[in-house]
A = this chain, B = another copy of it.
Amino acid sequence: MRKILFLLPVAILFLVGSCQTNTPESKAKYIFLFIGDGMGMNQAYATELYLAALDNKHGNEALSFSDFPVQSYVTTYSANSLITCSSAAITAIATGHKTNNGVLNKDTSLAIKYETIAEKAQKAGYKIGILSSVAIDHATPAGYYAHQDSRNMYYEISMEMPESGFDYFGGGGFHNPKGLNDSMPDAFENAVAKGYTIVNTKKGFDALKNGDKKVFAINPKTYPKGEFYWEIDKVDSSISLAEFTKKGIEVLENPKGFFMMVEGGKIDWACHSDDIATSIHETLAFDKSVAEAIKFYKKHPDNTLILVTADHETGGIGVGNDKPLRLGLLQHQKISAQEFGRRLTNFKQNNPKASFDDVMALVEKYFGLGNESKGLGLDDNELAFLHEAYVAEFINKTKVNPDKDYLEHFSDINITNRAIYLMSEKTGIGWTTFGHTGTPVPIRALGQGQEYFKSCIDNTDIPKIIEKLMDIQ
C-alpha cells in the first residue's frame, strides 16, 4: 500500500488547527459522494468526446465534474485480488477496510462487522441518504447499511436495510424481496413494519418534502429485479437519478448536515457487455445527478463537499483501436445491448424463418449498422461476421439468453454482441475485458476539504478523510 505523503498536513490541520472543526463555515457539513460504478477515466472521457462530437467540436466537452478544482486517482485492489469487485470496493470506501471480493462490510474472516461512515454520521446527527440507479440492496448502496458474508445475499441485505433507520433511500427497489424461492417474508413489508414509508409513484415522489423521515422512494418504472431501465432506451415516466438526487437534497437538508451517496450503478453493467454507447448514456444520467449537487454547493460553498469517484473500472476501455476516434457515430445506437437482445429474442420467436436481410434491417434500425450515409457501412468481412451469428442464432437455433451476465461472453456467437462489438470497433474504442480491471480510478473533489484529494490515495483513505472533515472519526 502506498505511503500517503499528504496525511501529515491533514493530521496537522486536525490536531493543531482545531479551529477548523469548531468553525461551522469550514466544516464539511453536506457531503455528497457520487460513485460511478465501473466509471474509470475513459468511461468519462469517452462521454466527453461524444458530447463534443454531437456539437461538431474537436476535442472534448466537459461534464459537470470534469472541471472540479481538485482531481486525482484512487487505487482499488481488494484484500484478496488486485482486481476488486463492487462489494470489496464499497467496503473500503464506506468503512476504510480492505476485505475479500464478495464480502460486504465484514473482515476477511467474516467474524467482524465494520461500522460504515453513514452509520457513524447518523450517530453524530447527520441525516443520511442512499441512492442508486440499481436495486438498493445491490453492493454499492448496501455498502452503507448492510454487513453480510456475501453481496449475493440480497434477501438478507434487503431485510437489514430498515435496521439502518436512514432517512432517505432512493432509486431502485429490491432484487429478491421474497428470497430466492419467493418463499420468505416480504422485505418491503418488513421495511414498512420497521417504520419506512414506501413511495413508488410519481405523485407520491413529488409530494415528498423536507423533514420526511424513513423514506424509501422507488422508481415506478424499473426492471423486475429493481434496477432502472437503460437511459439509452428512453423509457417514459420513469424518475431519473438526478430527480432522486434533487429530491434527496430537499428531504435531507437540515442545520446539522447530511451525508448522501449516489450511485450510477449501470455504467458498470453496460461495460460488462463492452457496450460503449449505453455506458455513455448512463454516464450522462450520472453526470446530471452531480449537477444537482453542484447547484446545492453554490448555495452552501463553505460547508459542502462533493466527491465523484468510482469503485473500479470495468471493461478496460482504450480510447484508441488503430482507427480514428469517431464517437459521434454512437448517436445512431438507439438501444442497449440487453434490450436489443430481448427484442431480437421476441423477433426470433415470431419470425423463426427470418432471413439475414430481415435481421440486418433490425440491426440497422437500432444501431445504424449497414447505413453508409450514417458512416456505418459494413464491408464484406463485417457482414460475414454478422452472418455467422445469424446462422448460429436463426439456422442452427443456438439459444441466446439476452440477460445472461449482460452478454459478457464474446465467445458466444450471437448477433447482439457482434453488433455491439462493431459499434466500438467503428468508433475507435477498444476493450480488454468483459470484467473489471485494476487500474486506479479518478476522484474529483469540489468544496470544503477538496484539498485533501489532490494526491493519489487508496480507496480505504476516502472514508478516513471524509470522517475527519465531518468531525466524526
Could you list which residues of chain A lie within 8 angstroms of chain B, going by C-beta atoms? 1-6, 41-42, 45, 49, 58-62, 66-73, 75, 77, 79, 81-83, 313, 315-322, 324-325, 428-440, 442, 454-456
User: Which are the 4 A-B pairs with shortest beta-carbon distances?
Assistant: A430-B432, A316-B318, A318-B432, A320-B437
Contact status A77-B58, CB under 8 Å: yes
Contact status B431-A41, CB under 8 Å: no
Contact status B73-A442, CB under 8 Å: yes
Smallest distance from the beta carbon of A9 to chain B beta carbons, Å? 9
Contact status A73-B456, CB under 8 Å: no
Contact status A324-B81, CB under 8 Å: yes
Interface residue from B316, B322, B438 paired with A49 (Cβ < 8 Å): B438
Residues of chain B within 8 A (CB-CB) of A58 are 77, 79, 82
With the chains together, A86 CA to B324 CA distance in Å?
Answer: 16
With the chains together, A161 CA to B90 CA distance in Å?
Answer: 54
Contact status A82-B454, CB under 8 Å: no
Smallest distance from the beta carbon of A44 to chain B beta carbons, Å? 9
Smallest distance from the beta carbon of A446 to chain B beta carbons, Å? 9
Contact status B68-A439, CB under 8 Å: no
Contact status A2-B62, CB under 8 Å: yes
Residues of chain B within 8 A (CB-CB) of A434 are 322
Would you list 12 pairs from A and B whose C-beta atoms are within 8 A, ordered by A residue?
A2-B62, A5-B67, A45-B438, A59-B82, A73-B442, A82-B324, A83-B319, A316-B318, A318-B433, A319-B438, A320-B433, A321-B433
Contact status B81-A435, CB under 8 Å: no
Interface residue from B318, B437, B454 paired with A70 (Cβ < 8 Å): B454
Contact status A319-B320, CB under 8 Å: no
Smallest distance from the beta carbon of A374 to chain B beta carbons, Å? 19
Closest to A3 in B: B67
Contact status B430-A316, CB under 8 Å: yes
With the chains together, A128 CA to B406 CA distance in Å?
Answer: 55
Residues of chain B within 8 A (CB-CB) of A60 are 1-2, 75, 77
Interface residue from B67, B77, B319 paired with A455 (Cβ < 8 Å): B67
- Residue of A4, A66, A317, A322 with highest tally of chain B CB at under 10 A: A322
Smallest distance from the beta carbon of A277 to chain B beta carbons, Å? 17
Contact status B455-A83, CB under 8 Å: no
Residues of chain B within 8 A (CB-CB) of A439 are 41-42, 45, 318-320
Interface residue from B3, B319, B454 paired with A316 (Cβ < 8 Å): B319
Contact status A72-B71, CB under 8 Å: yes
With the chains together, A240 CA to B68 CA distance in Å?
Answer: 39
Interface residue from B49, B81, B437 paired with A318 (Cβ < 8 Å): B437
Contact status B4-A67, CB under 8 Å: yes
Interface residue from B1, B49, B428 paired with A59 (Cβ < 8 Å): B1
Residues of chain B within 8 A (CB-CB) of A82 are 49, 58-59, 319, 324-325, 428
Closest to A6 in B: B69
With the chains together, A6 CA to B433 CA distance in Å?
Answer: 36
- Residue of A41, A45, A67, A82 with highest tally of chain B CB at under 10 A: A82
- Residue of A79, A317, A435, A439 with highest tally of chain B CB at under 10 A: A439
Residues of chain B within 8 A (CB-CB) of A319 are 82-83, 316, 437-439
Contact status A321-B325, CB under 8 Å: no
With the chains together, A325 CA to B77 CA distance in Å?
Answer: 11
With the chains together, A452 CA to B400 CA distance in Å?
Answer: 53
With the chains together, A436 CA to B321 CA distance in Å?
Answer: 9
Known: A45-B440, A72-B72, A430-B431. 11 other contacts (CB 8 A): A6-B69, A41-B41, A41-B439, A49-B82, A59-B82, A71-B73, A82-B428, A83-B320, A313-B320, A325-B438, A430-B433
Interface residue from B5, B75, B325, B433 paired with A322 (Cβ < 8 Å): B433
Closest to A408 in B: B322
With the chains together, A75 CA to B52 CA distance in Å?
Answer: 14
Contact status A318-B318, CB under 8 Å: yes
Contact status A75-B62, CB under 8 Å: no
Residues of chain B within 8 A (CB-CB) of A66 are 2, 456
Contact status B318-A431, CB under 8 Å: yes
With the chains together, A433 CA to B317 CA distance in Å?
Answer: 11
Smallest distance from the beta carbon of A46 to chain B beta carbons, Å? 9
| Contact status of A436 and B1, CB under 8 A, knowing A41-B73, A60-B77, A72-B71 | no
